[in-house]
Chain A
Amino acid sequence: MDEFLFTLSFSIVPLITVNLFALVAPPLGATLSLRNEILLGIALPPVGSAVIAGAIFFGVSPDAIVLLYLLAAISIFLVMIVLPLNVGKKRISLRRRELILAALFCIGNTLVMVLMSISPRVEAHFRNLLQGELLAVTGIELTATAILTIILIVFGFLFRGVIYGYSLDEEGLRITEKSYTTITLSFRAVATLVITGGIILIGPLLTTSLLIVPAFLTERSCRGLDRFMVVVMGVGFFGSLLGFLLAVVTDLPPAPVSVCVIIAVGYISQLLFGRQ
C-alpha cells in the first residue's frame, strides 16, 4: 500500500489530467457519433500526431509545446473545415466521406511512424506519447486543462440543445437557424481544442478511445440524449480513473490499461441499464 501511494504521488498530475479529459472527450465523441462523424475521432488524432512528429523532424524544439499545439490544432481544424459535408450544395455521400477519413487515418499513422523512426529529434517523451504512453504533464498544463474543462462542461450543458439540434438534423438547423455558420465553426473549434489537447497531453490512443468507446458501448442502453451524455461521461471518467490506478498497481502502461478498463466499465453499464 505504501509503495502504491508512493508511486501514485508521482502520477497524480497525469491522473487528474486524464480524468479531466475523460469528462469532455466522451460527450464530444457521443456528439460525433450522433452526427455520423465518429470517424473524425479516429482520423484526426493521427493527423495531429503526424503534424507534431513532422514539426519536430523539421526543427521545432520538442519543448515548444505551445507552438506544437498550435500547429496540430491548425491542421486538425483545417481538415474539419475542408472535408466535404453530407449537407449543402457540395455534399458528398457518407460512404465517400468515411473513405476519406479512413485514408487520413492510414496516412497520419504512417507519417508518425516514419518521421519518428528517422528523426533523432523526436525524443523519448514524444516518442512514448505518440505511441500511447502517458508521461509527464506539468502543473501549468494541468491548470489550463482544468480551466478549459470547466468552461466546456458549463457551456456544453447550457447549449446542449444546440448540440442536439446540430447533431440530429443539421440540414434542418441550416434552414431554420441564421446562426448555423457560427454553430458549425464553434463545434469544429471545440472539437479541435479537445482532440489536440488530448494528443499532446494524454496521447492519441487514449484520446481516440475516450471519443469512441463510451459512446459505442452505451448508446443502445440509453434512452434520451441527456442521459446518454451523462452515461458516457461516467463511463469515461470512472474507466480512466480505475484504469490509471490499476496501471500504477501493476506497473503497466497507463493508456492501454485505461482503455481496457473503460471497455469493461462500458460493458458493465450495458448490463446494468439493459438494451432500451
Chain B
Amino acid sequence: MELEEEERRDIVQMLNEARTLLQAGKINELKDCSNKVIHSMTIYQDKYATNAAVIVYAISKTLERWKLKQEERELSAFVREMKEELEKLSSLLERGEFEEFLIECGKVRGKIAQVDSHFSDYMEEVLHKARLKKASKVYEHGLSIGKAAELLGLSEWELMQYAGKTKVHDVDESKIKDLRKRLKELEEIFK
C-alpha cells in the first residue's frame, strides 16, 4: 500500500517529536503529540498513521502508569528501547519501507503489551486504551462511529461508551433542528 507524501511527512514529524519528548521525560506532551496525525488518520484511513498514533499514545500511557512504581533503571531501559524503536520507525518511513514499518509496529506493540501485562494494575491494557482514544478523536473529526471503530479495530459498543464521555457531542454543528420541532415531528409517528 502506498503512502501519500503529506501523510508520510506528518507521521515522520510526529515520531521524531515523540522521540524528543520521550528523551525529555515530557509524558503529557508525548500523549498530545500522538494527536498530530489524527488529520491524516481521518483523511487517509490507512494503517500507517493509525499504528504510529496508537504506539506513541500507548508509550505515554505506559510511562504514566509506571512512573511512580518502577525502579529508575527499569524505566530508563524501557525509555531507551522505545526511543530506538521510534527512530527505527521514522527511518523505515523515510526510506519508503512501508511493509517493514508495519511489521516493526507489530513488534513495538508486542513489547508494550508485554511490559504492560507485567506491571499494570489496570484491567484495560494500554494498547486498547490507545485505540479507543484515537478512534474517539477520529469520530470527533467527522467520521461515523462505525467507520472510526472499523479503522481502529474496535466494536461500536466500546467506542460509543468511550466517546459519550467526551465533549464530542457538544458541538454547534450537531444541533441542526429546533428541539420542539423534533418532538412535534415525532409526535406524528406515535399518534
Q: Do A and B come from one complex?
A: no
